[in-house]
Amino acid sequence: MSRLNISLPGLDLKNPIMPASGCFGFGREFAKLYDLSILGAMMVKATTIFSRFGNPTPRVAETSSGMLNAIGLQNPGVEKVFHEELPWLEQFDVPIIANVAGSTIEEYVEVAKILSKAKNVHALELNISCPNVKHGGIAFGTIPEIAKEVTARAKEVSEVPVYVKLSPNVTDICEIAKAVEAGGADGITLINTLTGLRLDVKTGRPIIANITGGLSGPAIKPIALRMVYEVSQRVNIPIIGMGGIQSAEDALEFFYAGASAVAIGTANFTDPFACPNIIGQLDELLEQLNINHISDCIGRSWKLGATSNYRA
């Protein structure tokens, strides 16, 4: 599989495919189905300082080619993640990207500091879509200055490279991307979910108890691709792309758009073997298309020149 290896800050990946945060827990369930060592990396569930139960149920709802979720960052807290989940994952030959969440900058800093010390954590991923308590519940990820600050503060304490995960619910994704780059981010991951709603036709009430939820799945792929395309041309740090990837073809579109690696979220729910399948199929697809190495694809859409010369 030598055509699939990719090097990113902190991450020497045997292949550029990894499960997305929150869609793979801490790997225990999937480890019963296949050997996690075949994964390029693993983005584990968001971790906060203290354990969180999350939102009331129902927490998920189906939409056309997508789903809404409002899990509410349920997790066992940073101590348990550090002392139980991460050590358990050491049995696998797979770099971990630890997803860091919080409702204050201090919480991000604290969690980042601890998790970055874990042996198998090769990078952090700051999930800045969480509501910022101090700023009236507006997500960190929507205000450039705050996004920059949380990045810089996490960088100060982290012993591994820091990736920042951007929220797509913004007017100008490049503005946020440039802010976190200025804050010292080593890489960017995008996109997180788009805020959506479903109502029960019989009762008129929200299907999800939290009312709104995050939209993921194939429905959002075109939006994710557009954002990867825009951001990758405006920053000088690598991007791990995600949003609706279901197949090797979908993954390849993200590389063309400008991603250097990709993550698989919702697809794991429909097909628990989605990640290993996509790894295998991507290799075959590159072979079919006569592409020597996946890195040749990164940003091809804009490197080829601005306009399409496609003709039906």
Partner 1 sequence: MIQLEEMKITEQKEIATNIFHLQIQGDLVSQIKQPGQFVHVKVAEGIEPLLRRPISIAKINHEENILSLIYRADGKGTSLLSKKHPGELVSILGPLGNGFPITQHKGKTALLVGGGIGVPPLYELSRQLTSLGIRVIHVLGFQSANVSFLENEFSRLGMTYIATVDGSKGMQGFVTDVIEAEKLTFDCLYACGPTPMLKALEQKFPDKEVYLSLEERMACGIGACFACVRPTTCGDGYKKICSDGPVFRAGEVVL
Ligand X SMILES: Cc1cc2nc3c(=O)[nH]c(=O)nc-3n(C[C@H](O)[C@H](O)[C@H](O)COP(=O)(O)O)c2cc1C
The residues carrying an active-site annotation are: 130
* Cβ distance to ligand FAD smaller for residue 185 or 257: 257
- Block residue for tokens 């041309």: 233
Look at residue 142 and give its three-state secondary structure: helix
Residues in region 101-160 near ligand FAD by CB under 6 A? none
Given partner 1, a second copy, ligand FAD, none, residue 25, with its beta carbon under 5 to 8 Å by kind, binds: partner 1
Structure tokens at 311: 């003709």
- Applying CB under 8 A, which part among 14-22, 155-163, 244-252, 269-277 lies near a second copy? 244-252
Cα separation, 262 vs 16, whole angstroms: 6
Given a second copy, ligand X, partner 1, none, residue 235, with its beta carbon under 5 to 8 Å by kind, binds: none
Question: Are the beta carbons of 215 and 63 closer than 8 angstroms?
Answer: yes
Query: Binding pattern to partner 1, positions 192-211, x when CB under 8 A?
Result: ---------------x----
Question: Are the beta carbons of 262 and 97 closer than 8 angstroms?
Answer: no
- Block residue for tokens 């790997």: 27
Does 201 sit near ligand FAD (CB under 6 A)?
Answer: no
Does 21 sit near ligand X (CB under 6 A)?
Answer: yes
Question: Are the beta carbons of 294 and 272 closer than 8 angstroms?
Answer: no
Instruction: State which residue has the least CB distance to ligand X.
Output: 22
The answer to whether 192 is annotated as binding is yes
Number of residues interacting with a second copy: please give it, by CB under 8 A. 61
> Which ranges constitute the DSSP H helices of 63-185?
78-80, 86-89, 105-115, 144-157, 173-182
Query: By C-alpha distance, which of 242, 253, 257 is closest to 285?
Result: 253
- Per CB under 6 A, the list member of 201, 289, 306, 312 interacting with ligand FAD is 312
Residues in region 13-42 near partner 1 by CB under 8 A? 22-25, 28-30, 32-33
Does 22 sit near ligand X (CB under 6 A)?
Answer: yes
The answer to whether 210 is annotated as binding is no
- What's the start-to-end Cα distance of the chain, in Å? 34
Residues in region 56-75 near ligand FAD by CB under 6 A? 62
- Per CB under 6 A, the list member of 168, 217, 258, 276 interacting with ligand X is 217
Residues in region 173-202 near ligand X by CB under 6 A? 192-193
Does 97 sit near a second copy (CB under 8 A)?
Answer: no
Relative to beta strand 187-190, strand 131-132 is: unpaired
Residues 6+ apart with CB under 8 A from 190: 165, 166, 168, 173, 177, 224, 227, 228, 231, 239, 240, 241, 242, 243
* Cβ distance to ligand X smaller for residue 19 or 183: 19
Determine if residue 204 is left, alpha or beta; phi over 0 gives left, psi from -120 to 50 gives alpha, anything else beta. Answer: left
Look at residue 254 and give its three-state secondary structure: helix
* Cβ distance to partner 1 smaller for residue 144 or 214: 214
- Block residue for tokens 């960088």: 155
Which amino acid is residue 215, in one-letter code? L
Question: Could you tell me which residues are beta bridge partners of residue 138?
Answer: 132
156 sits in which H/E element: helix 144-157
Q: Which residues are annotated as a binding site for FMN?
A: 21, 45-46, 99, 127, 165, 191, 217, 243-244, 265-266
Contacts to a second copy by CB under 8 A:
56-58, 63-66, 68, 142, 169-172, 194-209, 211-212, 215, 217-223, 225-226, 229, 244, 249, 252-253, 256-257, 285, 289, 297, 300-301, 304, 306-312
Q: Which residues bind ligand FAD (CB under 6 A)?
A: 62, 312
